[in-house]
Amino acid sequence: MPRNEKIGILGSGFIGRSWAMLFASVGYDVCLYDAKQEQVSAALKDIKQQLSNLESTGLLRGKLSADDQFKCIRGVKSLKECVEGAKFVQESVFEDLELKKKVWKEVDQIVGSDTVLGSSTSCILPSKISAELVHKANFIVSHPVNPPYYVPAVELVPAPWTSKDVVISTHALMKEIGQAPITFNKEIVGFGVNRIQYAILNECNSLVRSGVLRAEDVDTIMRDGLGHRYAFMGPLETALLNADGMKDYLRRYASSMETVTETFEARPSWDIKDCSELIAQLDQMVPLDQLESRRVWRDGRLAALAKLKKETSEQDRLSKK
């Protein structure tokens, strides 16, 4: 039986179903709603399968069995049933400002002042979505990284009018479900994940377009080079450990960094026709009919990494004692 605290999940695509699993992992009463009823049925089927696979491979989160976690999630037929009386609502509908505003306007008319309103939006400013809501002080962006079940970071981005209590309680809720929340002091377009991700993608695009590297080699740089370090520490700690602290790093490398940075293309085009070579190379690297099996492979590797990181952080904790 789920505990007597309800979480409403709006949208049951890639992100919505992962959120449902995360909240169910600690026993919340999770309601899943989608504008397309068949999406909810497909999501429930997929969640059941995923939970059972996770259990059999020892990677299930939380203390409840897969069966008990699945029992915490129920599909509902209306938005009202999904959000009414919820402690927290996580919206994961398409990335479209007008659609998100419409959905939140509807939610706003149903919920009371105790419900926290979270959006998975990847890039849209929380102030743009929530400006006209009655309960706008309760609105916050809680942006996960895909797939959220295996990648724990969640960006918490308040609008200028979001209450401090909402920021604090959302942070606590994310910790409770095993995620790693990052709280922003103020909103900025693209938040942190996509600002950093797009800076990386811009340079990858330029290196391929200019013919310096093939797409496959660009990915090797990250997968077998930078990515090894970034799985355990951020780029800033990586830098300071490569010298005797950050001041020394800058003494040694600031001028190289500035010289290289001067050669960056200011704004590489992402127009499809300008990226035809990049697309062709990537379609060859991962053929379009293999995307689904490749996603399953990715989730398995990420789950194994999550397990390794859990073990190593436990070792770190013990060695600090």
Ligand X SMILES: NC(=O)c1ccc[n+]([C@@H]2O[C@H](COP(=O)([O-])OP(=O)(O)OC[C@H]3O[C@@H](n4cnc5c(N)ncnc54)[C@H](O)[C@@H]3O)[C@@H](O)[C@H]2O)c1
CB of 126 to ligand X, least distance (A): 12
- Annotate 2-60 with DSSP letters as a single string: --S-EEEEE--SHHHHHHHHHHHTTT-EEEEE-SSHHHHHHHHHHHHHHHHHHHHTT--
Considering only 23-31, 94-102, 177-185, 242-250, which stretch makes contact with ligand X by CB under 6 A? 94-102
Please report, in angstroms and rounded to a whole number, the separation of the first and last CA atoms in the chain: 37
Q: Does 122 sit near ligand X (CB under 6 A)?
A: yes
Return the amino acid letter for 39: Q
> Could you say whether residue 77 binds ligand X (CB under 6 A)?
no
Taking CB under 6 A as the rule, does residue 120 contact ligand X?
yes
Q: What's the min distance (Å) between Cβ of 316 and ligand X? A: 28
Shortest separation between residue 10's beta carbon and ligand X, angstroms: 5
142: contact with ligand X by CB under 6 A: no
Instruction: Yes or no: say if 21 and 47 are a contact pair by the CB < 8 Å rule.
Output: yes
Site string for ligand X, 224-243 (x = CB under 6 A): --------------------
Report the alpha-carbon distance of residue 166 to residue 133 in Å, rounded.
Answer: 15
Instruction: Closer to ligand X by CB, 37 or 313: give it.
Output: 37
CA proximity to 67, closest of 120, 128, 20, 24: 24
Q: Which residue is at the shortest CB distance from ligand X?
A: 13
Query: What is the smallest separation between the CB atom of 33 and ligand X, expressed in angstroms?
Result: 6
Q: Could you say which of 44, 54, 76, 103 contacts ligand X (CB under 6 A)?
A: 103
Site for ligand X in 24-43 (CB under 6 A): 33-36, 39
Q: What are the DSSP calls for 164-182, one per residue? A: HHHHHHHHHHHHHTT-EEE
Residues between 4 and 23 that touch ligand X (CB under 6 A) = 10-16
| # binding residues, ligand X (CB under 6 A) | 24
Among 50, 90, 115, 121, binds ligand X (CB under 6 A): 121
| Contact between 92 and ligand X per CB under 6 A | yes
Two tokens, residue 213: 């590297």
Candidates 53, 146, 163, 281; binder of ligand X (CB under 6 A) is 146
Least distance from ligand X to the Cβ atom of residue 267, Å: 22
Give the bridge partners for 118, in sequence order.
90, 140
Task: Kindly state whether residue 95 participates in binding ligand X, applying the rule CB under 6 A.
Answer: yes
Cβ atoms of residues 150 and 306 within 8 Å: yes
Q: Which is nearer to ligand X, 15 or 167 (CB)?
A: 15
10 contact partners, CB below 8 Å, separation of at least 6: 16, 33, 34, 79, 82, 83, 89, 90, 91, 92, 93, 103, 107
- List all residues 6 or more positions away from 221 whose beta carbon is below 8 Å from its beta carbon: 213
Q: Minimum CB separation from ligand X for residue 31, in Å?
A: 12
CA dihedral 301, 303, 309, 314 (to 10 degrees): -150
Q: Which amino acid does the sequence have at 310?
A: K
* 144 lines the binding site for ligand X (CB under 6 A): yes
Applying CB under 6 A, the residues found at the interface with ligand X are 10-16, 33-36, 39, 92-95, 99, 103, 120-122, 143-144, 146
